[in-house]
Amino acid sequence: MFSKRCEYAIKIMTFIAHQQKKSNKKVDVDAISKAIDSPKAFTAKILQDLVKSDLLVSTRGRFGGFSLSAQIDINLKQIIEAIDGHKLLEGCLLGFGACSEKNPCVVHHQLKSAREILKLKLRDTNLEIIAKRVNEKNAYFKE
Amino acid sequence: MFSKRCEYAIKIMTFIAHQQKKSNKKVDVDAISKAIDSPKAFTAKILQDLVKSDLLVSTRGRFGGFSLSAQIDINLKQIIEAIDGHKLLEGCLLGFGACSEKNPCVVHHQLKSAREILKLKLRDTNLEIIAKRVNEKNAYFKE
DNA sequence: TTAAAATAAGACAAAATTGTCCTGATATAA
DNA sequence: TTATATCAGGACAATTTTGTCTTATTTTAA
């Protein structure tokens, strides 16, 4: 469903949110990739994308690192769209360019509601909720 | 959401269902790839997978081709699982091997219901429904 | 029996995604 | 000012997915 980049992005944001809730300090690439068990250089690339999409703020130089741009009020939909664009949630499921409500592909109307609900759930799930789960040890972002 | 192979598989099954409703004749790779606008050799590979999963029956030799194994009572979930396996509908969204109800990743419970609904919708949509849409010109499988 | 038309399957090629490495730029503390 | 620790970004490499080509096998009609 999600690309690998998306998976990492969600883990990255979860970790940063979790850390900030505890200490409010910036987090660096090395700490992130260790915490979420992801390849460091690849993680750095994804972090750049998240900065470009304004979900994170980066600080260069010594004692620099990454922090949430809007503290805890960032949701999964924003993260996914920052990384994979609108393909997953808006694009035609069969890849047609001109597929729409009025000119639908064979699965468009059949799967419309399911997608809507997915979209709602993604929008309703923000980092606050996720960090809370982690904090209460009800869920993990690293196996 | 779906892989390219899955997209083609849905189009393939739709076309064959549509054809069989009209004439009940076998359909060959050449006709299929032209009808759904897909690369022929790649289409042939996907057809092989659909045969191996018993969604299609193939007949070799002259006047051979492909036909539905269970006529029209095949649904989207079966098609997707025949091609991409259980990854999309059952696998962990963050890629964890041990993710489960009792040992959930951070998004597991948040997206559970959305996935359930997607699964239901896929199971509820069979080729009968899809072929009907095509027949009544309310939807297309080729742009 | 032979030619033609079809699927089966393995090897190969191209493209996209994932992942790595190196160098440059920037900020801070000593 | 200099050494160090950090992000930025481009070029490269590996892997996976997508797509192609060629040959073998099967079936049927002539």
Nucleotide with C1' nearest the A4 CA: C18
Taking CA–CA distances from B108, the nearest residue in chain A reads A139
User: What pLDDT score does B19 carry?
Assistant: 96
Each domain of chain B, given as residue ranges in start order, spans 4-135
Partner residue facing A1 (CB), from B93, B105, B113: B93
Q: Quick one: A119 exposed, middle or buried, by C-beta within 10 A (0-12, 13-18, 19+)?
A: middle
Contact A141 B7 (CB under 8 A): no
Distance CA A21, CA B70 (A): 55
Question: Does B99 have pLDDT greater than 90?
Answer: yes
User: What pLDDT score does B70 carry?
Assistant: 84
For residue A128, the SS3 value is helix
Mean pLDDT across B86-99: 95
Confidence category of residue B72, pLDDT binned at 50, 70, 90: confident
Question: Does B134 have pLDDT greater than 90?
Answer: yes
Token pair belonging to A6: 């998306």
Mean pLDDT across B67-71: 90
Instruction: Report the DSSP pairing between strands A65-68 and A56-59.
Output: antiparallel
User: What pLDDT score does B71 carry?
Assistant: 79
Question: Does B42 have pLDDT greater than 90?
Answer: yes
Taking CA A51 as the corner, what is the angle to CA A46 and CA A57, rounded to the nearest 5 degrees?
A: 130
pLDDT, tens digit, 9 for 90 and up, residues A27-68: 999 999 999 999 999 999 999 999 999 999 999 999 999 999
Mean pLDDT across B110-120: 98
Mean pLDDT across B34-54: 98
Chain B residues with a Cβ under 8 Å from any Cβ in chain A: 1-2, 4, 7, 10-11, 14, 76, 88, 93-99, 104-111, 113-115, 117-118, 120-122, 124-125, 129-130, 133-134, 138-141, 143
Chain B: closest CA distance from residue A65 (Å): 23
Distance B20 CA to C6 C1' (A): 19
Strand partners, B67: B57
Q: Which residues on chain A are in Cβ contact (under 8 Å) with B122?
A: 111, 114
Our measurement of the distance from residue A65's CA atom to the centroid of its chain's CA atoms, rounded to an integer in Å, reads 18
Q: What is the fold, at CATH topology level, of the domain defined by B4-135? A: Arc Repressor Mutant, subunit A (1.10.10)
Q: Which residues on chain B are in Cβ contact (under 8 Å) with A104?
A: 138-140
Strand partners, B56: B68
Question: Does A70 have pLDDT greater than 90?
Answer: no
Question: Does B34 have pLDDT greater than 90?
Answer: yes
Taking CA–CA distances from A106, the nearest residue in chain B reads B139
Nucleotide with C1' nearest the B48 CA: C8
Nucleotide with C1' nearest the B28 CA: C6
pLDDT, tens digit, 9 for 90 and up, residues A106-127: 999 999 999 999 999 999 999 9
Share of chain A above pLDDT 90, in %: 97
Mutation to test the B interface, candidates A2, A10, A88, A106, most B Cβ within 10 Å: A106
The domain A4-85+126-135 is placed in CATH, from the list 2.60.120.10, 1.10.10.10, 1.20.1090.10, 3.30.1360.70, at 1.10.10.10
SS (H, E, C) chain B: CCCHHHHHHHHHHHHHHHHHHHCCCCECHHHHHHHHCCCHHHHHHHHHHHHHCCCEEEECCCCCEEEECCCCCCEHHHHHHHHHCCHHHHCCCCCCCCCCCCCCECCHHHHHHHHHHHHHHHHHCEHHHHHHHHHCCCCECCC
Taking CA–CA distances from B130, the nearest residue in chain A reads A106
Residue nearest to nucleotide C7 (CA to C1'): B60
Our measurement of the distance from residue A143's CA atom to the centroid of its chain's CA atoms, rounded to an integer in Å, reads 18
Q: Are B29 and B44 in contact (CB under 8 A)?
A: yes
